[in-house]
Amino acid sequence: MEAPEIPEVRRDNGKSVRRHVPRGAHTAIGNVDRDPVELLELSSEGRVPRLVPLRYGRMIESPFAFYRGSAIVQAHDLAGTPNSGLHMQICGDCHLANFGGFASPERALIFDLNDFDETSFGPWEWDLKRVAASFIVAARHLRHSPGVADDLVYQLVRSYQSRMQSYAEMSILDTWYDRITFDRLLEEETSPVVQKRIRRGIERAADRTHESLLPKLAERVGDRWIILDAPPALFHVRGKQTLFDKDDDWMTKDDAEATASVEKVFKEYLATLAPDRRELLSHFTRHDVAFKVVGVGSVGTRCLIQLMIDRHDKPLFLQVKEASRSVVARYFKGPAVTHEGRRVVEGQRLMQAASDLFLGWGKGPFGRHFYFRQLRDMKLSPQIELMDAELLGKYAALCGWVLARGHAKAGGLAAEITGYLGRSDRMAETMVAYSNAYADQVEKDYERFVAACRSGRLEARTDADMAADFRV
């Protein structure tokens, strides 16, 4: 029998890492002698060609939108920075807009990380650096003062640090049980104004269900529900308003082959679910499948929605999302990945307190990897444009808490990270310096990106511009 690990010893081990990688070393912004446009072109390979301009059109809206869509650039840069050597499953694209509310399988509304397309094995501080820099980039975009922006990073990192200290004292089982619910946030919050916002969020989430979504996205035709085309964001792959080129491999199959492909990937997906989840899905019948563009960074990847209806004519929307190689894995060597959809699902399950009831994976035609989840289940996204400096600070602290919980759960290294961080402000000060320096770099990269769009090297189109192509 192995002797139990002593938290003090583990913290000392984490502290000893500072001799090799001092906390101040994290001010380095890394490999920035590169062309960000080339990296964006690399990450656009394999996407639906006619949707790539929409991706760039969404990114050109602001430096923050550019930052959201350019995870590959920062991953490349971070590869040239010192790392602590404390590696685990990380989010990989941990910016402030990738946190939010959603329903657990038990219908509790929880706040957690909610996008794991880039999840991979890597240094824990890569997540902290990406979210810290996102607060500076966003604060500048919202025209907050430098002092306010710095304070957001400070609150983020100090929250991460203090929460990690708490997880270092908890058993790993208690850490896995820990959930940051909206009810818990209400109990801990003392400000009546913030409490009111939390209650309002709970009310909004309650209305974000499959039933409320059905009349917005579909119409009944005879005995079937059909998804409504609304290009460029929503369309049938083989329909009259498709954005797929006629020589795309998905277009070369006839209707029978296309239907068989959908059935095959769904059957493979079902095999990744627990028996009770398969039984639950057996009560639904597929009515329609369509392509749905989502987010900023994912635009152009193959993302479908599948409308399922039960015997009471109640809907379930499943999202089928393409998973390609993580940007983290491009620049940090970790364990071999045999299925990118499985990588996303297992990374999400490791880091989240509670994951989607229907999370699973499958392989589509022509060898592409996909993962499945519900399209919308009481999902809430942060509205940072409506937050003042005080509320943004509370939001930053909340993100720090969520990230600490995710890392503590996924890596089991809370004591080591706590030892490395220590109790002083040193890491917070370092992250403020890093985030400002990297935000400067983001703004330079954004200028080069805009210049590439203006010169014609890249084509950028807005949603409204592309939608006009389909108006009669």
Candidate from 125-129, 183-187, 344-348 with smallest mean pLDDT: 183-187
pLDDT above 90: residue 3:
no
pLDDT above 80: residue 377:
no
Q: Whole-angstrom Cα distance, residue 17 to residue 416?
A: 9
The per-residue pLDDT for range 263-310, each reduced to its tens digit, is 999 999 999 999 999 999 999 999 999 999 988 889 999 999 999 999
Domain ranges of the chain: 7-207+379-468, 218-374
Average pLDDT over every residue of 57-74: 97
Q: Output DSSP code: residue 328.
A: H
Q: Whole-angstrom Cα distance, residue 151 to residue 157?
A: 10
**Predicted local distance difference test score (pLDDT) of residue 472:** 55
User: Among 110, 103, 95, 221, which residue's Cα sits nearest to residue 156?
Assistant: 95
Average per-residue pLDDT for the chain: 94
Average pLDDT over every residue of 167-185: 95
pLDDT level of residue 10 (50, 70, 90 thresholds) = very high
Question: Cβ of 42: how many Cβ atoms within 10 Å?
Answer: 13
Q: Do the Cβ atoms of 63 and 73 come closer than 8 Å? A: no
**Predicted local distance difference test score (pLDDT) of residue 205:** 84
pLDDT level of residue 1 (50, 70, 90 thresholds) = low
Question: What is the sign, positive or negative, of the torsion defined by CA atoms of 266, 268, 269, 274?
Answer: positive
Per-position DSSP letters for 125-170, written without gaps between them = HHHHHHHHHHHHHHHHHTT--HHHHHHHHHHHHHHHHHHHHHHHHS
Region class of 46: left (phi > 0), else alpha (psi between -120 and 50), else beta: left
* 167, two tokens: 């997880």
pLDDT above 70: residue 4:
no
| pTM for this model (two decimals) | 0.95
The per-residue pLDDT for range 224-257, each reduced to its tens digit, is 999 999 999 999 999 999 999 999 999 988 888 8
Q: Whole-angstrom Cα distance, residue 255 to residue 277?
A: 29
Q: Whole-angstrom Cα distance, residue 50 to residue 412?
A: 43
**Predicted local distance difference test score (pLDDT) of residue 365:** 80
Q: Whole-angstrom Cα distance, residue 4 to residue 6?
A: 6
Ranges assigned E (strand) in 295-364:
303-310, 315-322, 360-363
**Predicted local distance difference test score (pLDDT) of residue 255:** 83
Instruction: Report phi then psi at 117, rounded to 5.
Output: -60, -30
**Predicted local distance difference test score (pLDDT) of residue 132:** 98
Average pLDDT over every residue of 33-56: 97
pLDDT level of residue 2 (50, 70, 90 thresholds) = low
H-helix or E-strand spanning residue 429:
helix 426-455
Max Cα-Cα span within the chain = 75
Average pLDDT over every residue of 123-139: 98
Q: Whole-angstrom Cα distance, residue 70 to residue 47?
A: 15
pLDDT above 90: residue 378:
no
